[in-house]
Amino acid sequence: PGAIKERLEAFGPRTEKALAAGTPAGLMVTGQALERLMGAGGAAEALSTLEDQFLEIAQRCSVVIACRVSPLQKAQMVQLVRGKVKPTPVTLAVGDGANDVPMIQEAQVGIGICG
């Protein structure tokens, strides 16, 4: 959690500056980072703060891409947004395989793509 906190603090001001200037920003997060962010060890209070910081940055980005994530992590991302973002948004999940089913079921709107 310490390394994630340092990176969030380092990129937060840059993201703020870019968004204030009207520059679109994107965020990419890996499954390994999500594992650390969402509770694989560490104090609950510290993890909650990291989740809040992550969501603050993510909400200001035009796009958030999660790569190399497990089916459980996909569902947890939807739960995180539904549980912590206020006002609670309508969530949409789009998936193209069986590994996306938990995420699609967790979202209020789910789309499965065949092909």
Q: Averaged over 67-76, what is the pLDDT?
A: 94
Q: Give the phi and the psi of residue 3 in degrees, each rounded to 5.
A: -65, -40
Confidence of residue 2 (pLDDT cuts 50, 70, 90): low
How many C-beta atoms lie closer than 10 Å to residue 15's C-beta? 20
- Which ranges of 2-110 does DSSP label H, i.e. alpha helix? 2-20, 31-37, 44-59, 71-84, 101-106
What would the mean pLDDT of 80-103 be, rounded to a whole number?
93
pTM: 0.75
pLDDT tier, 81 (very low <50, low <70, confident <90, very high otherwise): very high
> Would you state the pLDDT for residue 41?
56
Greater confidence (49 vs 30) lies with 30
Neighbours of 73 (CB within 10 A): 20
**Domain range list for the chain:** 1-69, 70-115
38 Cβ contact partners less than 8 Å away, ≥ 6 residues apart: 47, 51, 73, 76, 80
